[in-house]
Amino acid sequence: MSLTHFKISGVDAKGVDATSNFTTDSYRFEISQDWSVSFKDNAVVGLPTYTLEVSNNNATWYDLNVLSTNVKLEDSITSDFISYRYMRVVYTANAASAGTVDVELSTKNKTNARG
């Protein structure tokens, strides 16, 4: 899988202040991509969570599913399928008092085996 970071205002979401709520820029999926979203926790004090939101038009957003809502930072979400074109991460600090986070996205294009 190829590792990248979600972006916030066009800048990689690395070392982002964990004490404030934020929403990443959207990521546009290519057809047939496996994916995984995870957080790198850098001395975060508190219990922040994240929610994955998806859209087909990059304007109207929905929670991906119940398992991707209010997720603990130590829990990644992985799938080999997405039926939406765009994804973003909504981070909720929940009174976190210190630390930073990196918002990571791993993707892998699927190849079609032909026999």
Residue 112's pLDDT band, with cuts at 50, 70 and 90, is low
Residue 48 in domain: yes
pLDDT at residue 60 greater than cutoff 70: yes
Spatial distance between the Cα atoms of 35 and 8, rounded to a whole number of angstroms: 19
Q: The domain spanning residue 11 has which CATH number?
A: 2.60.120.510
Q: What mean pLDDT comes out for the span 21-31?
A: 92
Residue 66, number of CB atoms within 10 A of its CB:
7
Q: What is the widest separation between alpha-carbon atoms in the chain?
A: 56
CA distance 93 to 70: 11
Range of the domain at 91: 2-109
Is residue 25, in this structure, part of any structural domain at all?
A: yes
Query: What's residue 30's pLDDT?
Result: 78
**Given pLDDT bands bounded at 50, 70 and 90, which one contains residue 113?**
very low
Does residue 29 register a pLDDT over 60? yes
CB 19 within 8 A of CB 98: yes
Structure confidence at residue 49 (pLDDT)? 97
Q: Flag whether 115 is in a domain.
A: no
Q: Domain count for the chain, please give it.
A: 1
pLDDT of 44 > 90? The answer is yes
Sole residue written with tokens 């829990």:
75
Exposure of 4 by Cβ count < 10 A (0-12 exposed, 13-18 middle, 19+ buried)?
middle
pLDDT at position 111 is 64
Average pLDDT over the chain reads: 92
